[in-house]
Structure 1
Amino acid sequence: MTTTLITGSNKGLGHETARRLIAAGHTVWMGARDATLGQKAADTLGGKFVQLDVTSDSSVAEAAKTIAAAGGLDVLINNAGIAGPMSPAEELTSADALNVYGTNVVSIVRLTNAFLPVLRASTAPTIVNVSSGLGSFDSVHDPERIESQVIAPLYTSSKSAVTMLTVQYAKAFPEMRINAADPGYTATDLNGNNGTQTVQEGTDAIFDLATRGGTGPTGTFIDRSGLAPF
């Protein structure tokens, strides 16, 4: 049986990914910073709750210890992320940048580092990083794509960093399958539920990458239609 950890899984894309993977037979650890909300979500879906603040070294280390002791991990899904302030570019501050990058980018380094020993014990170690088409240089320059209409310097650049981290980690750890997923414009709290896709549609690429059983390419960036532009 495949064991999976999803960060930020008490709502939105993380919650729907947990639901789908549990239905597919995975044992799913549902990570959330808020213990009350996280435990409720896990109880609702039949997952296992682990308290996890992706911005905290000690919290992540404790989660890794808990999951390793319970039998290990096969799939790590780095889903937790924030949009940050939707302020005009001239009003964004260094503190805003540190907050967005700390949650969206540095957390992936933190989680990857903490869970490497656990994943290396798996026969099919897999990491799925939830990125975004908003971080794609190609997409934001394409006037026919919705990504080209968005000006959000911190969030978009953080997702560019997530995709590049994915590629670099895939090169560094070729024994693992490490890929990034673009959910697409999905209705979640992150965009005020204004997205045009359902959460199920938004999790198609994540679900695909998480259920390949350690096979297939590594270092790729996909959406629900297949390979996505970098």
Structure 2
Amino acid sequence: MPYTILVTGANKGIGYEAVKLLSQRKPDATILLGSRSIQNGEDAIAKMKSSLPSHSFSNIKVLPIDITSSSSLQSAAEHVKSTYTTLDVLINNSGISELNGDPKHPAIFDVNIRGAKDAIETFVPLLTPKIGIVTLVSSVVGPWYMTELGADTPLHKKLDDYKSVSWEKVEAWMADWQVYADGGKSEDQWVPLDKGVIGSRYCASKAILNPWIRWYAAKHPELHIAVVCPGYCATELNNFQGTRSAAEGGESIIWPVFNQFESGKFYQDGNEMSYDTFKW
């Protein structure tokens, strides 16, 4: 039975680099390059071949997938099941920081939170029993957001109390953030939007998603779930302003494939990170 790895959002940036590295380091595995467009996926493979002619990258297969579409997720899962039977590793890398230049666009929550949840719940039933791995790409901007809130604030305490999280609470937090962003009377005091990046919907999405994945990992002790941060990488997501390369980010997010880790914990470059506090 072939060893199979799926990386979503993999036709560019960190996901692209992750697939490129996995193809070389696991030549006997099938690496599924998740892309909303088949053509974009094929172009990504062609780019890899051009950049490193000594490696064929023949073990990479494009898997059309849009994690915000239930029908797309279902079709992708059915293809994986019928073709490979099981999935050994899911790396949910898909994420956006804006849409059409709008850093407050609702699609950010749809991709970064709802899409991540739906992707994980869709593919977990296909994971190879006992050895299957879920890697969720998150970011230290989640802990940064928590730090900005202040450790003694009610919202910080709610977000850190992952054991009492439910999906209903996650949806309520997203709705409350929107009320706050629109200038309405929200239940909680979120980081002001005028704080720049830290007050953005993108940063809020990571602060909201992290407690859910911690809860999910605790609820499913039979699973191996790693949450990883690629670091501040220069990619399209941040207009190529990062201080690390996309390849370094790719290294960070594939680390759980090759190393032992504690399920539900947060890592960057193999080092455990805090979920609720971030220090520069």
| Cα pair 2:130 2:222 within 8 Å, conserved | no
Q: Structure 1 pair 64/3, CA: closer, same or farther in 2 (3 Å)?
A: same
| 1:32 counterpart = 2:35 | yes
Larger radius of gyration: 2
TM-score (norm 1): 0.85
Amino acid at match of 1:150: V
**Residues 11-26 of structure 1: matches in 2 within 5 Å?**
11-25=12-26, 26=29
Q: How far apart, CA to CA, are the structure 2 residues paired with 1:37 and 1:190?
A: 17
Conserved in 1, the CA contact under 8 Å of 2:145 and 2:199? no
Structure-1 separation of matches of 2:22 and 2:254: 7
Q: Deviations over 1:174-221 (max 9, x none)?
A: 111111111111010011111110112112321111223xx4310011
CA distance in 2 between partners of 1:107 and 1:56 (Å): 8
1:16-165 matched pairs, under 5 angstroms:
16-25=17-26, 26-42=29-45, 44=49, 45-46=57-58, 47-71=60-84, 72-84=86-98, 92=104, 96=105, 98-119=106-127, 121-137=128-144, 140-141=147-148, 150-165=197-212
Displacement after TM superposition at 1:138 (Å): 7.1
Moved more, 185-194 or 41-50: 41-50
Q: 1:219 is matched by which residue type in structure 2?
A: G
Instruction: Give the aligned partner of residue 232 of structure 2.
Output: 185
Q: Scaled by the length of structure 2, what TM-score is found? A: 0.71
For the residues of structure 2 that align with 1:224 and 1:141, how far apart are their CA atoms?
24
What residue in structure 2 maps to residue 145 of structure 1? none
Structure 2 spans left out of the alignment, 5+ residues? 50-56, 150-194, 276-280
Q: Which moved more, 1:154-163 or 1:131-140?
A: 131-140
Over the aligned positions, Cα root-mean-square deviation in angstroms equals: 2.2
Count of residue pairs brought into register by the alignment: 215
Unaligned runs of 5+ in 1: 143-147
> 1: CA distance between counterparts of 2:130 and 2:42?
29
Q: In structure 1, what is the equivalent of residue 10 of structure 2?
A: 9
Q: Is the 8 A contact 2:18 2:253 kept in 1?
A: yes
Q: Is the 8 A contact 2:145 2:203 kept in 1?
A: no
Runs (4 or more) in structure 1 with deviation over 6 Å come to none
